[in-house]
Amino acid sequence: MSANHDGTTLLEVRGLTKIFGTLTACDHVDLNIAKGEIHALLGENGAGKSTLVKMLFGSLEPNSGEIFWNGQAVRITSPGAAKKLGIGMVFQHFSLFEALTAAENIALSLDDGSPISSIAAKARALSYSYGLPLDPESLVGDLSVGERQRIEIIRCLLQTPQLIILDEPTSVLTPQEADKLFETLERLRSEGKSILYISHRLEEVKRICDRATVLRHGKVVGHCNPRQETASSLARMMVGNEVKAVVRAPAEGIETAPALLDIRALTRKPATPFSIPLKNINLRVRAGEVIGIAGVAGNGQGEFFESVSGEVLQQDAGSVRIRGKDAGGLTITGRRLMGAAFVPEERLGHGAAPRMKLSENLLLSRHATDGKAFVGSGGMVKSSAVYSAAQRIIEAMDVRKSAPDPEAAALSGGNLQKFIVGRELDRRPSVMVVNQPTWGVDAGAAAHIRQALIELARSGSAVLVISQDLDELFEISDAIAVMHNGELSKPLPIAEATFEKIGLLMGGAEPGHAEHTLETA
Amino acid sequence: MDITVNILLTIATAATPLLIAAIGELVVERSGVLNLGVEGMMIMGAVGGFGAGYLTGSPWIGLLAAVAMGAVFSLLFAVMTLSLATNQVATGLSLTLLGLGLSGMMGTSFVGQPGERLPNLDIPGLTSIPVVGRLLFGQDPIFYISIALTAAVMWFLFKTRTGLTLRSIGDSHTSAHALGIKVIRYRYLSVIFGGACAGLAGGHLSLVYTPQWVENMTAGRGWIALALVVFASWRPWRVLAGAYIFGAVWIGQLHAQAFGIPVPSQLLSSLPYLATVVVLVLISRNKRLTMMNTPASLGQPFVPDR
């Protein structure tokens, strides 16, 4: 049965449903992709986009529903079967092998037995013809995230797919790299290929997509033509209600305020062959301000956070100073005792112990700084004090949960992140360093966290935020610095910062050079 | 001169079982599986090889039985860790304990019995060449197999597409699965290959090294093979170098003890371990190369979403 198949529909999905335990991740989803269109799949984190795509690519099996390919009912039982049909996929978290070369990575996904050298030549030719230059001999572990994405795209194109699925492709790119990607996608569309474009960035969806399907809580809530919608009408469809805008009161008198976090000539050798060295980083964060650090993932942000938080100690104790005192030789606990607080990037396993209760997680990170409140005489834990502190944080941050004191892993990503940020805020730290505060967090929770960070700064603390999300940094920062290849640019005051300037710095342009190209452009 | 040749021959005999077991484990670990049951598979190969040789009177049948015994025994590990996704470390350790116990039970009637020995190679005209003749053309058949096996594994891993696929699974099984590679099937075959090699190494002990059955006769060689793989940073030629350094120092210290030099024998006995570790650490100083050759998904169970 292939109702209304008129030869223009490439893929049709009817009533696709996937249930994990008690959660219905995809609930009777209908989707319809025409030949030669760029179709957007919109939705918040946890709306079911990834689950839907995994079913289309054969890595998850649907509980019910039908998939039609060129009018024929098909069952896609494995990624191999999807490739045979002509479905290619560019993953969000790349599925590349770091220890192998680009050419070897490409060869692995092609089934023909042709020698690596001929595959390398083909890949090189194709990459240049699409304006995505690629060196097939280079080791993936050495490449930037943007270059890795090129390998994924070239690898996908070499399989000559009819449908290409891109999962959040621009989340790891500079604005300029994203422009380049859009050109490639438009060229593919003109060649008659279909593209399923998954994103939560509304502006780019409006810019390149012909149609959009919007998912919310696993259900399709609407189909639309994104060009006829506004960003806010799309956001309403995605979120279901209005999201409270973040308010940033002007910071006053921060020029004369003391620098509570002072980083001087911070340098670090690479710990592993694939990690980034830090090169002479200087940064001051004053009382009352929020400084943002932008940058493409993998340019040294992780190494920088480890150094500032004390996960890795510095040889020069003066390279990290907290409230005017050298802290470079102190451990995390030592720095916490000086009034600093840190929120790492990974929620589960780094920010919180997954199988421990929220109150236990609270005790783990604060037993040293709040020793008197939480630990009584003889080293006995005051469970009730810890429990009530956890409840205070849960209330302040509006953490939604199913039990009074659940395990960390039982919370959704957004709610756990609210708890972890709240745990640190509750101490009223005078220095707060956060890495990716709202990664994978839904819009409502993200706005809550951002507002809380701004308010902490305005109450007299120094706040440093490392983020890949430029929108977020523009929303909360008083100045933005850019990290590229282990070097940190001078912070640009928010009034002078634009997406173009920051984007050029993210791509590695010299600050002076960046302004020059803008003027001549 | 004859003494030198004899010493060299004993070194090769000491190194061969280590080399074979380690090369097998190297393939297993390159596919991302950590099988700590080498010692157990080896002793099963030893008892199986001896038993078959003793009962049939043919050391060649014993050789085949040793290989088969190791492979079948490793299948147990494969089913547990790959199909049932049990913890690889715990399962490997129990495989070793099971192998040591089971082989002791199976071998009770073999204790003290004379075994069959695999004959050394003897090519008229070549083997009798002074010095090199016996070294190149007069050793036991498993010695030649071990060298050929090392070369074949090197070629397979780094020159063939299947070898590339195997290495990719060891680097990231989730990525490999996303590309449609049959991760579990590759790992099954790798584990069975590793088991067959460990069995062969055990067979070398009971059919060549000391053609008799003694309980626990592997005496920790399986563990040394495991360590060699790691210290050689998963590269075949380094495993070969490591096995021979170990063998050389082992034989050297035995001679030193026999001469009665005034060094505590405990210290001498520990020399082979120290020397091997020092040399292999020195040659793997290049961190970048080590990193590239370390299977990143080693020891992690793979359970695809469904």
Domain ranges of chain A: 9-239, 259-349+429-520
Nearest CA in chain A to B162: A108
- Residue, of B180 and A269, whose pLDDT is higher: A269
As a whole number, the mean pLDDT across chain B is 92
The predicted structure's pLDDT at residue A511: 53
DSSP for residue A242: P
As a whole number of Å, the CA-based R_g of chain B is 20
- Distant-in-sequence, close-in-space partners of A455: CB < 8 Å, separation ≥ 6: none
How many domains is chain B partitioned into structurally?
1
Asked if residues A313 and A337 have their Cβ atoms less than 8 Å apart, the reply is no
The predicted structure's pLDDT at residue B305: 66
Establish if A272 touches chain B: CB-CB under 8 angstroms.
Answer: yes
| DSSP SS3 for B133 | helix
Q: Which two tokens stand for residue B299?
A: 């020891």
Contact A60 B178 (CB under 8 A): no
* pLDDT higher than threshold 50 for residue A517: no
ipTM of the complex: 0.81
Asked if residues A398 and A392 have their Cβ atoms less than 8 Å apart, the reply is no
Question: What is the mean predicted confidence (pLDDT) over B3-11?
Answer: 89
Range in A70-84, A126-140, A153-167 the model is least confident about: A126-140
pLDDT in tens, B122-169: 888 888 888 888 888 889 999 999 999 999 999 999 999 999 999 999
* Exposed / middle / buried, residue B278 (Cβ in 10 Å: 0-12, 13-18, 19+): exposed
Question: What is the mean predicted confidence (pLDDT) over A80-104?
Answer: 86
> How far apart are the C-alpha atoms of A357 and A406, rounded to whole Å?
5
Contact A108 B181 (CB under 8 A): yes
How many CA atoms does the CB half-sphere of B287 hold within 13 Å?
A: 6
Q: Which two tokens stand for residue A249?
A: 């009161």
Q: Which residues pair with A294 in a beta bridge?
A: A482
- Distant-in-sequence, close-in-space partners of B48: CB < 8 Å, separation ≥ 6: B65, B66, B68, B69, B70, B199, B202, B203
- DSSP notation for B15-57: HHHHHHHHHHHHHHHHTT---TTHHHHHHHHHHHHHHHHHHHS
Of A54, A83, A273, the CB nearest to B291: A273
Residue B53 in any domain: the answer is: yes
Establish if A18 touches chain B: CB-CB under 8 angstroms.
Answer: no
* Exposed / middle / buried, residue A467 (Cβ in 10 Å: 0-12, 13-18, 19+): buried
- DSSP notation for A389-432: HHHHHHHHHT---SSSS-BGGGS-HHHHHHHHHHHHHTT--SEE
> How far apart are the C-alpha atoms of A385 and A370, rounded to whole Å?
11
> How far apart are the C-alpha atoms of A29 and A215, rounded to whole Å?
9
Instruction: Tell me which of A97, A112, A155 to substitute to probe the interface with B (most B C-beta atoms closer than 10 Å).
Output: A97
> How far apart are the C-alpha atoms of A487 and A300, rounded to whole Å?
8
The predicted structure's pLDDT at residue A92: 67
Phi-psi domain of B94 (left: phi exceeds 0; alpha: psi -120 through 50; beta: other) = alpha
* pLDDT higher than threshold 60 for residue A41: yes
Distances (CA, A) of B102 to A27, A122, B37, B110, B113: 54, 55, 13, 14, 19
Instruction: Tell me which of A95, A111, A142, A155 to substitute to probe the interface with B (most B C-beta atoms closer than 10 Å).
Output: A95
- Using the structure block, give the residue that is written with the tokens 């190791």: B70
How many CA atoms does the CB half-sphere of B157 hold within 13 Å?
A: 25
> How far apart are the C-alpha atoms of B55 and A175, rounded to whole Å?
76
- Using the structure block, give the residue that is written with the tokens 């604060």: A366
pLDDT band at residue A94 using 50, 70 and 90 as cut-offs: low
Range in A9-23, A506-520, B41-55, B238-252 the model is least confident about: A506-520
Amino acid at A258: P
> How far apart are the C-alpha atoms of A419 and A237, rounded to whole Å?
27
Nearest chain B Cα distance for residue A241, angstroms: 33
- Distant-in-sequence, close-in-space partners of B126: CB < 8 Å, separation ≥ 6: B133, B136, B137
- Using the structure block, give the residue that is written with the tokens 């099971």: B98
| DSSP SS3 for A328 | coil
pLDDT band at residue A513 using 50, 70 and 90 as cut-offs: very low
- Residue, of B287 and B195, whose pLDDT is higher: B195
Q: Which residues pair with A220 in a beta bridge?
A: A215
pLDDT in tens, B49-60: 999 999 999 999
Establish if A499 touches chain B: CB-CB under 8 angstroms.
Answer: no
| DSSP SS3 for A292 | strand
- Distant-in-sequence, close-in-space partners of B87: CB < 8 Å, separation ≥ 6: B81, B301
Q: Strand A290-294 to strand A23-34: parallel, antiparallel, or no bridges (unpaired)? A: unpaired
Same fold across A9-239 and A259-349+429-520: yes
* pLDDT higher than threshold 60 for residue A187: yes
Question: What is the mean predicted confidence (pLDDT) over B171-196?
Answer: 93
pLDDT in tens, B11-51: 999 999 999 999 999 999 999 999 999 999 999 999 999 99
- Could you tell me which of A13, A21, A11, A17 has the C-alpha nearest to residue A62? A17
Residue B301 in any domain: the answer is: no
- Using the structure block, give the residue that is written with the tokens 């090189």: A124
Contact A100 B167 (CB under 8 A): yes
Question: What is the mean predicted confidence (pLDDT) over A465-480?
Answer: 92
* pLDDT higher than threshold 90 for residue B193: yes
Q: Which two tokens stand for residue B16?
A: 């061969």
Asked if residues A145 and A296 have their Cβ atoms less than 8 Å apart, the reply is yes
Contact B305 A113 (CB under 8 A): no
- Residue, of A45 and B225, whose pLDDT is higher: B225
B298 vs A contacts (CB less than 8 Å):
none
DSSP for residue A169: G
Residue B35 in any domain: the answer is: yes
A100 vs B contacts (CB less than 8 Å):
164, 167-168, 171
pLDDT in tens, A155-171: 888 888 999 999 888 87
The domain made up of A9-239 has a fold known as Rossmann fold (3.40.50)
Boundaries of domain holding B187: 2-293
pTM of the model: 0.77
Q: Is the four-CA dihedral A136, A139, A143, A146 of positive or negative sign? A: positive
Residue B300 in any domain: the answer is: no
Q: Which two tokens stand for residue A238?
A: 């995605």
H or E segment at A468? Answer: none
User: May I ask the CATH class of domain A259-349+429-520?
Assistant: alpha beta
- Using the structure block, give the residue that is written with the tokens 């995505």: A132
B178 vs A contacts (CB less than 8 Å):
57, 59, 79, 89, 91, 95
DSSP for residue A88: E
* Exposed / middle / buried, residue A472 (Cβ in 10 Å: 0-12, 13-18, 19+): buried
pLDDT band at residue A6 using 50, 70 and 90 as cut-offs: low
The predicted structure's pLDDT at residue B104: 95
Q: How many CB pairs under 8 A join A and B?
A: 73
Q: Which residues pair with A266 in a beta bridge?
A: A281
| DSSP SS3 for B13 | helix
Distances (CA, A) of A197 to A69, A156, A244, A429: 18, 14, 27, 41
CATH number at residue B111: 1.10.3470
- Residue, of A479 and A440, whose pLDDT is higher: A479
pLDDT in tens, A238-296: 887 777 778 888 877 788 899 999 999 999 988 777 778 999 999 999 999 999 999 88
Nearest CA in chain A to B286: A273
